[in-house]
């Protein structure tokens, strides 16, 4: 075991020496890759979607080289603070709880409305079994409702599947995620009004990484100023409010 | 892949399926079978090595070594896998980066822990931020392998510890009567005879290990279950050239077949191994009189 450890350490040091020669730092962007239209994997297995285009444009404006990384939603914050990537861009709404652990950029979407989707038109969501992805603002919202029972799932896809197969009466998720699904499936429909949660979607950074955050904030601001952010929002999030 | 795949919407039947099954995403799915097999092929022997070390340590006469072995077995077995994978791996990664910080950035003056953050100089990052993605993936894979080996090593240690205890006392006594030293008894009598008692427990562990690979995605390594879920999930025409409904059941069926085959092959191999290892031994399996 000792030799294995020493060997690993030697290898680790060795590879580092080789790469230390390169100077321009790549910024690694962590995403989930399972939340269309914000981020998803296209047919080639590449990260695509609203955040892919936005992120690439932001990196170009901030003159940074960026690399996309997919990571499980549940471990997306621990891996950021531990330094496995430098920013989160995963449809993550700005909330106070998250803000205690990481720092957010300025929002790049308006507070996004969430909706309930169900197979029944007359479901009373206040007293129903509601599916949501664990660790999301929607899950937090359902948990705080007195009559409703929360069923949590690890991925967004599973929350919708739970409604299809009757495990849950309704699903609560971002409108932009649910609408393309509802449009495509006649059994599913939106129930009730929009629910406004969170403070918009922003990029997540380590609290110690103020410099990188400022760079991206400036890039986001420049895209807000010249209207290119609004164009992207209109392209990818048809129901989303613009700036 | 094929020339006629440029406009999938116009295809149907087998041609559509042929295109669908050869998208980049599916190729990644097929490749992940290799990742999983490679992980198993490397992890199983490493875990066995850790297990052997742990078992030997746990029955050592030297007290600190014995404590070490017993602590390893007790602690690792009692921590849930998922917690171990989240925290141990991150701790290991940070430990390595801290060592590199000491070696590579001697004039680093900031604290390593800043609130929730772990901060080291960019040269100490492992792998370096600018390293290509495959380097990060190989690194994640190595961390995963090491973690799997430690976790499964602890279980294997307990199995081997029990197996060593199960070897009949008379065998050891005879060896002592022949004047063999403790080391010789261990090498010539105990180890060759313990496998028959260890194998059923070890084969259980192997089967559990085979199915534990979804834990890999916690480290960003994409395994077959991740891809099956990702590919099977319904996709709308807006986001893919190959829209389809919820097809997860088909993908999981394919996984089922894969796991059944792997289990069957494992069983055959283990049975042969058992026959070999019990040959001539005074057990029902060995059929010696």
pLDDT reported for residue A18: 40
Are B120 and B98 in contact by the 8 Å Cβ rule? The answer is yes
Q: Chain A contacts of B216, Cβ < 8 Å?
A: none
* Bigger pLDDT: A16 vs B119: B119
B86 CB near a chain A CB, below 8 Å? yes
Q: What percent of chain A has pLDDT over 90?
A: 55
Are A185 and A91 in contact by the 8 Å Cβ rule? The answer is no
Average pLDDT over chain B, rounded to an integer: 87
Q: Which residues form the domain of B72?
A: 20-278
Question: Is B126 a domain residue?
Answer: yes
How far are the Cα atoms of A67, A168, B32, B231, B256 from residue B225, in angstroms, in the given order?
24, 24, 9, 10, 10
Average pLDDT over chain A, rounded to an integer: 86
pLDDT reported for residue B284: 64
pLDDT reported for residue B286: 58
Q: How confident is the model at residue B206 (pLDDT cuts 50, 70, 90)?
A: very high
Q: Chain B contacts of A39, Cβ < 8 Å?
A: none
pLDDT reported for residue A23: 41
- The per-residue pLDDT for range B6-15, each reduced to its tens digit, is 777 788 788 8
* Bigger pLDDT: B53 vs B141: B53
Choose from A14, A26, A42, A45 for mutation: most chain B CBs within 10 A.
Answer: A45
Question: Is B13 a domain residue?
Answer: no
Question: Is B268 a domain residue?
Answer: yes
Q: How confident is the model at residue B285 (pLDDT cuts 50, 70, 90)?
A: low
The answer, yes or no, to whether residue A13 has pLDDT greater than 60, is no
Q: Which of A14-23, B8-17, B153-162, B271-280 has the lowest mean pLDDT?
A: A14-23
Range list of H helices, chain A: 2-20, 50-61, 76-81, 96-101, 137-144, 156-164, 175-184, 210-225, 228-236
The answer, yes or no, to whether residue B255 has pLDDT greater than 70, is yes
Any idea what the CATH number is for the domain that residue B61 is in? 1.10.3720.10
The answer, yes or no, to whether residue A14 has pLDDT greater than 50, is no
Phi, psi (deg, nearest 5) at residue A87: -150, 150
Nearest to A187 by CA among A164, A170, A209, A205: A164
Are A160 and A174 in contact by the 8 Å Cβ rule? The answer is no
Tell me the HSE value of A20 on the side-chain side, using a 13 A CA sphere: 16
pLDDT reported for residue B15: 85
- The per-residue pLDDT for range A118-136, each reduced to its tens digit, is 998 888 888 999 999 998 9
Q: With an 8 Å Cβ cutoff, are A8 and B239 in contact?
A: no
Token readout for B190 is: 């105990």
Q: Chain A contacts of B25, Cβ < 8 Å?
A: 41-45
Query: Are A120 and A168 in the same domain?
Result: yes
The answer, yes or no, to whether residue A21 has pLDDT greater than 80, is no
Q: How confident is the model at residue B173 (pLDDT cuts 50, 70, 90)?
A: very high
Query: Are A119 and A192 in the same domain?
Result: yes
Q: Chain B contacts of A209, Cβ < 8 Å?
A: 117
Question: Is B90 a domain residue?
Answer: yes
Question: Is B157 a domain residue?
Answer: yes
Choose from B69, B98, B116 for mutation: most chain A CBs within 10 A.
Answer: B116
Question: Is A4 a domain residue?
Answer: no
Query: Are A81 and A184 in the same domain?
Result: no
Q: How confident is the model at residue A22 (pLDDT cuts 50, 70, 90)?
A: very low
Burial class (CB in 10 A: 0-12, 13-18, 19+), B69: buried
Q: Chain B contacts of A81, Cβ < 8 Å?
A: 116-118
Q: Which of A22-31, B127-136, B193-202 has the lowest mean pLDDT?
A: A22-31
Question: Is A5 a domain residue?
Answer: no
Query: Are A137 and A179 in the same domain?
Result: yes
Nearest Cβ partner for B125 among A79, A83, A184: A83
The answer, yes or no, to whether residue B180 has pLDDT greater than 70, is yes
Query: Are A130 and A101 in the same domain?
Result: no
A176-213 burial: b if 16+ Cβ within 10 Å, else e = bbbbbbbeebeebebbeeeeebbebbbbbbbbbbeebb
- If DSSP codes are grouped into helix, strand and coil, which group holds residue A125? helix
DSSP A136-180: SHHHHHHHH-SS-EEEEESSHHHHHHHHHTTSSSEEEEEHHHHHH
Question: Is A13 a domain residue?
Answer: no
Nearest Cβ partner for A67 among B97, B133, B235: B133
Nearest Cβ partner for A43 among B86, B136, B240: B240
pLDDT reported for residue B121: 85
Query: Are A97 and A125 in the same domain?
Result: no
Query: Are A70 and A176 in the same domain?
Result: no
B105 CB near a chain A CB, below 8 Å? no
- The per-residue pLDDT for range B16-47, each reduced to its tens digit, is 888 888 888 899 999 999 989 998 999 999 99
Query: Are A148 and A207 in the same domain?
Result: no
Token readout for A206 is: 């380590």
Are A82 and A106 in contact by the 8 Å Cβ rule? The answer is no
Most confident of A202-216, B122-136, B220-234: A202-216
Phi, psi (deg, nearest 5) at residue A226: -90, 5
Report how many Cβ contacts below 8 Å link chain A to chain B.
Answer: 148
Question: Is A146 a domain residue?
Answer: yes
Please tell me the total count of domains within chain A.
2
Query: Are A99 and A51 in the same domain?
Result: yes
* Bigger pLDDT: B264 vs A199: B264
Please tell me the total count of domains within chain B.
1
- The per-residue pLDDT for range A172-188, each reduced to its tens digit, is 999 889 988 898 888 89
Nearest to A31 by CA among A70, A78, A80: A70
**For residue A33, what is the nearest residue in chain B, using CA coordinates?**
B230
- Tell me the nearest-neighbour CA distance from A149 into chain B, angstroms: 25
pLDDT reported for residue B243: 86
The answer, yes or no, to whether residue A195 has pLDDT greater than 60, is yes
Q: Chain B contacts of A15, Cβ < 8 Å?
A: 126-128, 131, 135
Q: How confident is the model at residue A17 (pLDDT cuts 50, 70, 90)?
A: very low
- Give the sheet arrangement for strand A26-31, strand by strand: A65-70, A26-31, A87-88, A204-205, A103-104
Contacts of A192 by beta carbon, 8 Å cutoff, 6+ apart: A115, A116, A125
Nearest to A31 by CA among A7, A49, A9, A16: A49
Sign of CA dihedral B7, B13, B18, B23: positive
* Bigger pLDDT: B33 vs B90: B33
Any idea what the CATH number is for the domain that residue A131 is in? 3.40.190.10
The answer, yes or no, to whether residue A86 has pLDDT greater than 90, is yes
Q: Which residues form the domain of A145?
A: 113-196
B75 CB near a chain A CB, below 8 Å? no
Query: Are A34 and A97 in the same domain?
Result: yes
Question: Is B194 a domain residue?
Answer: yes
The answer, yes or no, to whether residue B232 has pLDDT greater than 60, is yes
Question: Is B4 a domain residue?
Answer: no
Query: Are A121 and A152 in the same domain?
Result: yes
Question: Is A19 a domain residue?
Answer: no
Arithmetic mean of pLDDT, B220-227:
84
Q: How confident is the model at residue A15 (pLDDT cuts 50, 70, 90)?
A: very low
A146-174 burial: b if 16+ Cβ within 10 Å, else e = eebebbbbbbbbbbbbbbbeeebbbbbbb
Nearest Cβ partner for A19 among B114, B119, B131: B131
Cis peptide before B127 (omega within 30 of 0): yes
pLDDT reported for residue A229: 94
Q: With an 8 Å Cβ cutoff, are A20 and B128 in contact?
A: yes
Question: Is A59 a domain residue?
Answer: yes
The answer, yes or no, to whether residue B176 has pLDDT greater than 90, is yes
ipTM of the complex: 0.77
Q: How confident is the model at residue A53 (pLDDT cuts 50, 70, 90)?
A: very high
The answer, yes or no, to whether residue A2 has pLDDT greater than 60, is no
Choose from A16, A79, A81 for mutation: most chain B CBs within 10 A.
Answer: A16
Q: How is residue B188 annotated by DSSP?
A: I
Q: How is residue A38 annotated by DSSP?
A: T
Arithmetic mean of pLDDT, B134-147:
88
**For residue B137, what is the nearest residue in chain A, using CA coordinates?**
A69
The answer, yes or no, to whether residue A70 has pLDDT greater than 70, is yes
Q: What percent of chain A has pLDDT over 70?
A: 90
pLDDT reported for residue B246: 83
Question: Is A173 a domain residue?
Answer: yes
- Spatial separation of the C-alpha atoms in residues A219 and A217, rounded to whole Å: 5
Question: Is A1 a domain residue?
Answer: no
Query: Are A175 and A229 in the same domain?
Result: no
- Tell me the nearest-neighbour CA distance from B128 into chain A, angstroms: 6
Q: Which of residues 215-234 of B touch A (CB under 8 A)?
A: 217-218, 220, 222, 229-230, 233-234
Q: With an 8 Å Cβ cutoff, are A19 and B127 in contact?
A: yes
DSSP B1-41: --GGGG-GGG--HHHHHHHHTTSHHHHHHHHHHHHHHHHHH
The answer, yes or no, to whether residue A20 has pLDDT greater than 70, is no
- Tell me the nearest-neighbour CA distance from B148 into chain A, angstroms: 14
**For residue B52, what is the nearest residue in chain A, using CA coordinates?**
A1
């Amino acid at each position: 075991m000792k030799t294995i450890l020493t060997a690993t350490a030697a290898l680790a040091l060795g590879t580092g020496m080789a790469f230390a020669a390169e100077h321009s730092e790549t910024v690694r962007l962590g995403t989930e890759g399972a939340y269309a239209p914000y981020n998803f994997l296209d047919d080639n297995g590449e990260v695509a979607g609203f955040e892919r285009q936005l992120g690439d444009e932001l990196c170009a404006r901030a003159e940074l080289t960026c690399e996309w990384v997919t990571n499980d939603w549940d471990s997306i914050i621990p891996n950021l603070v531990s330094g496995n990537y430098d920013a989160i861009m995963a449809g993550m709404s700005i909330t106070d709880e998250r803000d205690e652990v990481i720092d957010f950029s300025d929002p790049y979407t308006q507070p996004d409305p969430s909706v309930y989707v169900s197979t029944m038109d007359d479901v009373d969501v206040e007293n129903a079994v509601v599916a949501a992805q664990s660790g999301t603002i929607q899950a937090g919202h359902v948990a705080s409702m007195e009559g409703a029972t929360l069923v949590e799932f690890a991925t967004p896809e599973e929350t919708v599947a739970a409604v299809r197969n009757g495990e849950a009466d309704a699903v609560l998720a971002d409108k932009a995620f649910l609408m393309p699904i509802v449009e495509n499936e006649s059994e599913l429909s939106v129930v009730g009004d929009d629910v406004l949660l969170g403070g918009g979607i922003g990029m997540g950074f380590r609290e110690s990484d103020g410099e990188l955050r400022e760079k991206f904030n400036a890039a986001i601001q420049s895209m807000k100023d010249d209207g290119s952010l609004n164009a992207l929002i209109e392209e990818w999030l048809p129901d989303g409010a613009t700036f | 892949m094929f020339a006629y795949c440029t406009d999938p919407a116009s295809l149907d039947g087998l041609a559509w399926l042929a295109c669908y099954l050869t998208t980049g995403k599916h190729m990644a799915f097929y490749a992940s079978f290799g990742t999983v097999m490679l992980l198993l092929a490397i992890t199983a022997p490493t875990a066995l090595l850790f297990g052997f070390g742990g078992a030997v340590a746990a029955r050592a006469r030297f007290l600190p070594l014995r404590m070490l072995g017993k602590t390893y077995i007790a602690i690792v077995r009692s921590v849930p896998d998922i917690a171990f994978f989240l925290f141990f791996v991150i701790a290991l990664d940070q430990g390595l980066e801290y060592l590199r910080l000491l070696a590579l950035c001697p004039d680093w003056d900031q604290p390593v822990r800043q609130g929730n953050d772990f901060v080291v100089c960019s040269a100490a990052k492992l792998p370096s931020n600018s390293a290509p993605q495959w380097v990060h993936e190989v690194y994640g894979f190595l961390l995963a392998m090491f973690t799997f080996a430690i976790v499964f090593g602890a279980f294997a240690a307990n199995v081997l510890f029990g197996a060593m205890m199960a070897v009949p006392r008379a065998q050891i006594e005879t060896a002592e009567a022949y004047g063999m030293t403790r080391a010789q008894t261990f090498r010539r009598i105990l180890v060759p005879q313990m496998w028959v008692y260890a194998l059923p427990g070890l084969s259980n562990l192997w089967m559990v290990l085979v199915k534990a690979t979804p834990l890999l995605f916690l480290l960003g390594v994409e395994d077959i279950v991740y891809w099956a879920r990702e590919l099977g999930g319904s996709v709308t025409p807006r986001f893919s050239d190959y829209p389809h409904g919820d097809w997860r059941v088909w993908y999981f069926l394919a996984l089922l077949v894969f796991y059944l085959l792997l289990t069957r092959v494992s069983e055959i191999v283990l049975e042969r191994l058992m026959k070999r290892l019990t040959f001539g031994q005074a057990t029902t399996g060995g059929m010696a009189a």
